[in-house]
Structure 1
Amino acid sequence: MRILALLILLLLAPAQAMAQFLPEEPAPVAGDAGIDELIRIIENDETRAALLERLRQTEEAGVPAEAPPDLSIVRQLAEYTRAAAEGTSTTLRSLGGVFIELQQGLSGTLSADLDGFRDVAIGVVLVGAGLFGSFLALRIIVLWAQGLIARRVTGRGWPSRILGMLGALVVDLGSVLLAWAIGYVVALMLVGGATGRMGINQSLLLNAFLLVETSKLVARAILQPRYESLRLIGVTDDNAAYWSFWLGRIISLLGYTFLFITPLLAANLSVGAASAVQVLVMATAVTIGIIVVLQNKDDVRTWLTGIAARRGNDGTGQLLILLGQYWHVVAIVYLVTLLVVWFANPEQALPFMLGATVQSAIAILVGVVIVGFIARFVSAGLSLPEDIKRRLPLLETRLHAFVPHVMLVVRWVVIAGVLLAIAQAWALFDFVGWIGSDGGQQVAGSVISAALIILVCIVLHVVVASWVEYRLNTSIGKTPTAREKTLLGLFKNAFTIALVVFGLMLALAQIGVNIAPLLAGAGVIGLAIGFGSQKLVQDIITGIFIQFENVMNEGDVVEAGGKSGVVEKLTIRSVTIRDLGGTVHLIPFSSVDQVSNMVRGFSFHVAEIGVAYDSDIAEVKQAMHDAFDQLMQTEHGENIIDELDMQGIIAFADSAVTVRARIKTLPGKHWAAGRAYSELVKTIFAERGIEIPYPHVTYVASAPARRPALPVIDGESREGGTPELPGEPSRG
């Protein structure tokens, strides 16, 4: 009773639910007599003149002009309310008429030949018994064969699983076709009798069986509820059995009803009875669909939430979470709408809605497959051959940086294509007609051209960056010089900036943006920057001359702007220096008044050593030469490019004599060689007793102080003067 009450509510909901069951008034059609009379009047000159005169009089009399339509919101609301009321009244009348007609048909008040219907039913029952009996018997053989195939492919790869699924599908299809053939034999031999001819009703049953069971066969082949090894989709055994059961029941209910039962009732009983059965079956199918949706509400929500969690709850993940919260509402509304549309216009609206649904499902399925492939491709990443990795070690990293962004754009393009396909299927937007028009082709061509320009720019950037990387690779070919490193780095930066600017301008021009004002505006902005940013202009001009003069390159040790260190980065505007303590200094060229390069061409270690005044200078020089000879025997010897430059005494200090010598090395190698040389000199001086003086203080203890003689005044001695303090040091 609850189901019947729910069905009645669903039937009463739409405004024009049962309008298709009311008989329509035929439009009046002019008969042959009227046409002959009109021809006769036109052929006769007098009658034609009289007809024209009457038409002129009618025109002169004039027709009262119609009042302009009231387009106000109040009038439109009134018209809509009136139409809804009339539709509701028509629905109730048609619904009552259908049930009255069904009651009359079942009670025998209509002109239905119940005896003939009984004979037809007997023939159909005989054919059905032979058809479904043979099919059930064949199903036992099919299940045995499918089980054998499943055991053979268990534990094997995907090719074997696909072949096994196809084999099971062929076996199942063979049983359907064989049962269908047996049904035809039964219909021809038993029902047809001596004539060997069967009726249309038996043919309806056989054709309905073939279509319905083939549809159920496809569902069984996809889900494979009995054999997991033949299943190609990732669902559990319980879910596969659940969906296979309900899909089979719904397909059987709708298929046999619309393909067999209702045509049988309409031909042998009454159209009203057939229509009532259709209404009952459609409402039952929709009710089953709503029950299935409510049963799986939480499972689908959990599944979508899990997918969103694996995606890190990104934008698509948030959309999946929202869909999981309200998907059952959307599904129920769709099912009820499907029922309403079928009630309103089963011959046009229902096929349109079903076709749009199938097209939308196919578009979504194709989009999901493409997006899934893209996601798998991005997650798997690119793996280049070892030879390319050795030649271009940064190419794989660069591709890993570009490919996800490109694939993200492709993903959104696929999503847009799916949305357009859905809009096309539901006639929301005629994309095919629009793309076939001149405006659509122009817009599509502009967008494709802009996309190709951007793609070409990306490819050029990757190619140029890879070429620069190849030229700077020290393991392939000759080692690049510091000048090449600097110029290639500047070229890559300048090329990237120019490529971005020109590519953006060309892309904007392709989509119809007038770039002339942009170029003029860029010129004005550049002029304003030139006047307002003098420091920036000074940086660039100074940087250009520094590059022309080749005073420093990347990797050089320089002093610029009061900071010294290794040049890590050199642009047209600034230089980046890392000092000895690891601090990075960004120095604009406008603050550089001079540059001191410490590693250009060659380097010198200047050894200025102070020795005591009483040292033998010849012995000191010999010791320094011996230290240089020992230095040449170490790993630093390969960096020394000349003999020791002994320059001798260069200064007389307060407590030492300064002796100078120079060691010429490769650029930048003088610091390490100088440290090693100083250690050797210190060791040899200590061995030979050569003193390296240093400032010191000598403390000398004095004798006890004596009292000075006192002067004698008037025969008496007087004490006076300043006594000498004991222990006063004397500086040495």
Structure 2
Amino acid sequence: MPAFLRCLALLLLIVVVPVQAAGLPGLLSSSTPAQPQATEPLSKSLDEVIKNLENDQQRTKLLADLKKLRDASKQTQPSVEQGVLGLIGGALHDFEQQFSGDASPFVRWSQELEQAKVELADLVVPVHQWPAILFGFAAVIAVWSLLAYAFNWIGHRVRIRFGLTEELPQHPRTWDLVRFALRKLGPWLVALIFTVYLSFALPPSLGKSLAMVLAYALVIGTCFSAICVIAFSLLDGPHRHRALHILRHQAFRPLWLIGSFAAFGEAMSDPRLTAALGTHLAHAIATVTNVLAALCTGLFILRFRRPIAHLIRNQPLSRRLTRRTLSDTIELLGSFWFVPALILVAISLFATFVSAGDTSTALRQSLMCTVLVVVCMVLNGLVRRHAAKPQNVHKRQAVYAERLKNFGYALAHLFIWLLFIELGLRVWGLSMISFAEGDGHDVSVRLMGLAGTLIAAWLVWILADTAVHHALIRSRRGLANARAQTMMPLIRNVLFVAIFIIALIVALANMGMNVTPLLAGAGVIGLAIGFGAQSLVADLITGLFIIIEDSLAIDDYVDVGGHLGTVEGLTIRTVRLRDIDGIVHTIPFSEIKSIKNYSREFGYAIFRVAIPHSMNIDQAITLIREVGQKLRSDPLMRRNIWSPLELQGVESFESGSAILRARFKTAPIKQWEVSRAFNLALKRQLDEAGLDLATPRLSVQVVTAGGGAMAEAGAGASS
């Protein structure tokens, strides 16, 4: 601290002396005498500096303090802002420095290999000690292999005894997947456990340790390949069978190599092996095996890129039709999935080369992320498989149970991916939880509030939408589908907008935004719209009551506003009709005064038959009943006729003919079809009987001068 004070005094002296010197001419030229108080601090500072400079030791210390102060001032100076070219140039300069001099990866790799050679030379033992080392290695491998072969033979006999297949079926169940994993992994794992206990009988040696590491790596490779095959099998679906067949029968060995190399490299970082082999030699072996694992991964990606692309791209038809954006994204991801995978492998190899022997990063972290991805895929596949299982639920609650089940499984998938992201970040030395507990606490709380609001809004939307759908479906048996098709889009849109607005306001409030001005502005805008668009409001209100009262629905045949046609569409403001000439009429709800609906519950096919004056009325009634009975027996018409022919008697007389009235109760909108079929059948029946329909007749009588009738002519004309 005294040295720093001396430096500070010297700096003050450097600053003060020029100022005083610059003011001397003014002081000398002024008539006012100089103040002695102003010269006293200067003289004291000069005396102190002179004393420090006269002493060699003090001068050396002062010089050292000045150098430290200079270095500190350079470090505290703000960095000058650089443009894009400057940043690129700085990055290239840093990259060049990293690959030049003693820090170059080539230099560090050469040093690493030289030290590994030295450690390998130190491990060379005399020839008479080689048999013990080789015996330990061979004994462990032989015991493990024989035990694994024995367990495999026993498993094969058991499968033959119970008629079990060795490969996975096309649609494997959960038990089939478990049995496949046990068949592939069980014998080797159990043999390794027995080998570990039996190896205690052998004396400790380097050969025994290497044999145990090799057996461990091979078992981990088998486990990894079995898990990958199970993960592929969980992605089974339409048009994926061929891709799954290829992966099940051809991908096991490449995956086994990848897992074995990675496990062997991981085992080389064990402290006991590092102490036995040497740090640099263990690191060199681990790096080589990790590089081999990365190269095998790249070859696997190139070899099986098409089957895996089929697994990703081929989605169910319902998802492709309803979620086109998601389907297009998955299609693009499936086509180019191997590009980022190969880039990741290349980055891992490059990072391994730059790290020069540091096997705790780069490849190990990448391989751990790969394992996490596989585990995540397995968990998601198990969740998806469990979601596809049918469940026995009460019919009334089936709709709610299905939607809530899908909601719960969606949250499960989200939780699995979040867990994967957290574990992946921990592999690379990061953590979302640590960030949330530290510097990002406020941001994390707000993001969690936003996520909670969105999930709650999603749940409310599911419950409300299901309740509306359930109520509309149960409202009326005959036209439940038409009613649901009519009202569902309208009510769903209103509910969705309302829930979305409320969720948006709550989310903004949770994010710390003041929503009071927003609500006030929305109220003012609503009032302005209400006063400025009264006809629109009238259409909305009238349409709302028409839809609630269920006066008409889509596919109804109605007479609205003087237009007769089929309802093709309904909005909250208009109704769209298409008449029998194919013309579309769009009618606002406010213009509708009355609605004639011809398609509700049932209809009546009404007949008015004129009986010829020459036909007996009872004979005519019998003929009409026979035609009605034949029409009810017709296989094409009997579904449309809901009652026997109801003969209502003589309605009136026209042109001397009796008019009989009859009717059928028919299905909705089928009354005109039944009427046309009845008229056709009646005409055929009359033709077969040699009878004619009654037509208006005119009788003319000519009277002579003598008063006698000369001629009589009768003429008939059709009406």
Note if 1:458 corresponds to 2:462.
yes
Distance change >3 Å, CA 624–CA 576, structure 1 → 2: farther
**C-alpha separation in 2, matches of 1:243 and 1:425:** 22
**C-alpha separation in 1, matches of 2:544 and 2:183:** 72
Distance change >3 Å, CA 72–CA 552, structure 1 → 2: closer
Contact 2:647 2:662 in 1 (8 A): yes
Question: How far apart are residue 690 of structure 1 and its match?
Answer: 8.1
Matched position secondary structure for 1:693: coil
Matched with 1:315 is 329
Matched with 1:172 is 191
Q: What letter matches 1:426 in structure 2?
A: W
Distance change >3 Å, CA 59–CA 353, structure 1 → 2: same
Q: What letter matches 1:511 in structure 2?
A: A
Deviations 1:296-323 (A, max 9, x none): 4631334444435645984234324323
**C-alpha separation in 2, matches of 1:301 and 1:683:** 74
Q: What letter matches 2:151 in structure 1?
A: Q
Note if 1:356 corresponds to 2:360.
no
Matched with 1:215 is 217
Question: How far apart are residue 503 of structure 1 and its match?
Answer: 1.5
1:35-114 maps to which residues of 2 (within 5 A)? 60-61=9-10, 66-67=73-74, 68-73=77-82, 81=93, 85=97, 88-91=100-103
Contact 1:642 1:664 in 2 (8 A): yes
Contact 1:293 1:332 in 2 (8 A): no
Matched position secondary structure for 1:218: helix
1:278-677 maps to which residues of 2 (within 5 A)? 281=285, 284-285=288-289, 288-289=292-293, 292=296, 295-296=299-300, 298-308=302-312, 310-311=314-315, 314-325=328-339, 327-343=341-357, 346=358, 350-353=359-362, 356-357=365-366, 359-373=368-382, 388=395, 418-419=420-421, 421-427=423-429, 430-434=432-436, 437-473=441-477, 495-512=491-508, 536-543=536-543, 558-565=558-565, 573-575=573-575, 587-596=587-596, 605=606, 607=608, 609=610, 615=613, 638=643, 643-644=648-649, 646-649=650-653, 656-657=655-656, 659-660=658-659, 662-663=661-662, 672=674, 676=678
Matched position secondary structure for 2:351: helix
Question: How far apart are residue 450 of structure 1 and its match?
Answer: 1.6
**C-alpha separation in 2, matches of 1:305 and 1:81:** 41
Question: How far apart are residue 164 of structure 1 and its match?
Answer: 4.1
**C-alpha separation in 2, matches of 1:509 and 1:428:** 33
Matched with 1:144 is 149
Matched with 1:263 is 275
Contact 2:254 2:300 in 1 (8 A): no
Q: What letter matches 1:422 in structure 2?
A: G
Contact 2:567 2:575 in 1 (8 A): yes
Is the deviation greater in 501-510 or in 402-411? 402-411
**C-alpha separation in 1, matches of 2:209 and 2:663:** 103
Larger Rg: 1
**C-alpha separation in 2, matches of 1:249 and 1:675:** 82
Question: How far apart are residue 512 of structure 1 and its match?
Answer: 1.9
Question: How far apart are residue 457 of structure 1 and its match?
Answer: 1.3
Contact 1:556 1:597 in 2 (8 A): yes
Aligned length: 582
The structure showing larger relative contact order (alpha-carbon pairs under 8 Å, at least 6 residues apart) is 1
Distance change >3 Å, CA 561–CA 610, structure 1 → 2: farther
Matched position secondary structure for 1:607: strand
Contact 1:578 1:584 in 2 (8 A): yes
- 2:159 is matched with which residue: 153, 158, 177? 153
Distance change >3 Å, CA 79–CA 581, structure 1 → 2: closer
**C-alpha separation in 2, matches of 1:83 and 1:559:** 81
Contact 1:685 1:691 in 2 (8 A): no
Matched position secondary structure for 1:564: strand
Distance change >3 Å, CA 629–CA 373, structure 1 → 2: same
Distance change >3 Å, CA 176–CA 592, structure 1 → 2: same
Matched position secondary structure for 2:564: strand
Matched position secondary structure for 1:333: helix
**C-alpha separation in 1, matches of 2:343 and 2:551:** 74
> Normalized against structure 1, the TM-score is what?
0.60
Question: How far apart are residue 504 of structure 1 and its match?
Answer: 0.8
**C-alpha separation in 2, matches of 1:248 and 1:555:** 66
Question: How far apart are residue 139 of structure 1 and its match?
Answer: 3.8
Distance change >3 Å, CA 515–CA 685, structure 1 → 2: farther
Matched position secondary structure for 2:164: coil
Question: How far apart are residue 560 of structure 1 and its match?
Answer: 2.5
**C-alpha separation in 2, matches of 1:690 and 1:100:** 121
Q: Percent identity between the aligned chains?
A: 17
Distance change >3 Å, CA 597–CA 661, structure 1 → 2: farther
Matched with 1:133 is 138
Matched position secondary structure for 2:304: helix
Deviations 1:473-494 (A, max 9, x none): 35xxxxxxx8x99988877566
Matched position secondary structure for 2:336: helix
Q: What letter matches 1:156 in structure 2?
A: L
Q: Give the root-mean-square deviation of aligned CA atoms.
A: 5.8
Deviations 1:326-359 (A, max 9, x none): 644531331231243254xx4xxx4355663354
Contact 1:307 1:317 in 2 (8 A): no
